[in-house]
Amino acid sequence: MVLVRFSVVSLAPPGVVLAVSGSCASLGKWSCDAAVPLTGRHGAKRRSTEPDFHSVELEIPEAESELVEYKFLELGDIKWEEGPDGKNRILKVEEKDVIHRDDGKILLLPVERWEPHWSEKKITSYFYKGVLHQLFVGSCPRRRSHIEDLKKRGITTVFNFQTEDDCKTNCIPDIGMDKNPLAVGKIYEAEGMEYIWMPTWDMDTAGRANMLPQASFLLAQLLRKGHKVYCHCNAGVGRSTAAVCGYLTFALGLSVREMQHVMASSRPVTVFNLGAIEEARPHYKARYEVDAEMQPKADLRQHHGVKLTPEAVRASVRGSRALRGRFLPDRALDVLDDAATLASAQAEELNLGHPRAMSTAVGKSAGSFFSFLFSLSLSIYVYVYAYVYVYAYVYVYV
């Protein structure tokens, strides 16, 4: 049985229900009455000029044995999408697009657009949107009250991708930015916030590809230190969202499909430039991927002679919340490291070739930091490189 997530971003007005219909029985065999409704992520809270992310998860058993075609439509006054080149969409089951969740596997189909020819200049959104619990993205502050609002929301670092000309024309008036783009930095400093300016050409693949490696790395370092970061360009549609896409892909190791779903569901106006990401990927790898700060502190499997279940990693994330003054993922790794030490010691005492109680050890290690023990399976047969796994779990799935 294949669980599939269908998703589409559309400028349909709030209140209009979108649905998916297709060639198989699970999708209604092209009947409008049997079409499966999608749920909008933001609904009436969005602006009329802002699109919404619509999705539904369905079991499609037919995908295992036959070609499944589908399209999106608006219910009520029925309106079908045109589809790519006027054709139906094809449901393709590819292993690289299947992700594993606590409740099983799910196939992520591409995040489609109802309106295929968006212009970055014509779509707008709210001032900011949260992508992850420490990472926000949006448009440039245009009033002092915007900076005050960022401060109230706990933002500690503002990351600006506007060019010098952008800063002069899209800025807070009467603070001198029309002559000196760095003038706003003094205001952020007075509010106790860090300000990073990384000028990037707008609507330009080469410009974004040049920016992505260092922006992704800097974001990773800031978030590791516990900063709450706000990324902006002019409208928060292209350059700033590209930087966050790079971070999710390069630093967290998400697949392109996972990254698209994370971004589109949180900020539907995101314009994806996958060409820039692929162009930047080898440069990120050459410059930063081998840096000690971006690698696991230790391969726990080799260092302690243990194997870790995903359950053990999730337990370390939850249990480490009691460690005050430390930030994820480092605090979860500390719990894992202590647990691996305990499990290794237990294995030696029992003369085992491998520790049999890593999950129990996680509970014992974390138990010194909080008041309850984890009850986890003792079967430990799937190892993970803890750092990337904890990153992805902490920032995407918790």
192: its two tokens: 């106790």
Question: How high is the pLDDT of residue 322?
Answer: 66
Give yes or no for residue 367 having a pLDDT over 50: no
Model confidence at 334: pLDDT above 70: yes
Kindly state the tokens that stand for 307. Answer: 């194997």
DSSP state for residue 396 in the 8-state scheme: I
Q: Chain-wide mean pLDDT for the chain?
A: 80
SS3 state at 19: strand
Q: How far apart are CA 325 and CA 337, in angstroms?
A: 18
Count of CB atoms situated within 10 Å of the CB of 173: 10
**Alpha-carbon distances, residue 248 vs 179, 213, 215, 391, 395 (angstroms):** 35, 12, 11, 10, 9
pLDDT tens for 92-107 read 999 899 988 877 889 9
CB 366 within 8 A of CB 335: yes
Residue range 129-147: average pLDDT?
88
CA 273 to chain centre: 15
What percentage of residues in the chain have a pLDDT greater than 90?
51
Whether pLDDT at 301 is above 90:
no
Q: Six-digit token pair at 22?
A: 């297709």
What's residue 315's pLDDT?
75
Instruction: Write out the catalytic residue numbers.
Output: 233
Task: Please state, in angstroms and rounded to a whole number, the distance separating the CA atoms of residues 195 and 231.
Answer: 10
pLDDT of residue 378 exceeding 70? no
Evaluate if residue 78 carries a pLDDT over 50: yes
pLDDT exceeds cutoff 60 at 223:
yes
Q: Please state which CATH number belongs to domain 300-397.
A: 1.10.8
pLDDT average, residue stretch 27-53: 90
The mean pLDDT value for 208-225 works out to 95
The CATH 1.10.8 domain(s) of the chain lie at 300-397
Nearest-angstrom CA–CA distance, 81 and 370: 53
CATH 2.60.40.10 residue ranges of the chain are 3-113
| Range(s) of the chain covered by CATH 3.90.190.10 | 128-294
Fold of 3-113: Immunoglobulin-like (2.60.40)
Taking the mean position of all CA atoms in its chain, how far away is CA 385? Answer: 19
CA distance 361 to 162: 49
d(CA 209, CA 196): 18
Nearest to 316 by CA among 294, 296, 337, 301: 337
Residue 209 has what pLDDT?
Answer: 97
pLDDT for residue 298 is more than 50 = no
Helix ranges (H only) for the chain are 144-152, 164-169, 183-190, 205-224, 239-246, 256-266, 274-284, 300-304, 310-319, 330-349, 358-367, 386-392
Q: Which of 51, 240, 236, 230 is nearest to 139 (CA)?
A: 236
For range 216-238, the mean pLDDT = 93
pLDDT at 125: 52
Q: Rounded to an integer, what is the distance from CA 352 to the centroid of its chain?
A: 40
353 has pLDDT over 50: no
Is residue 252 a contact partner of residue 387, using CB atoms and an 8 Å limit? no
DSSP state of 368: T
Neighbours of 364 (CB within 10 A): 16
Span 248-268, mean pLDDT?
93
The top-level CATH class assigned to 128-294 is alpha beta
3-class DSSP assignment, residue 57: strand
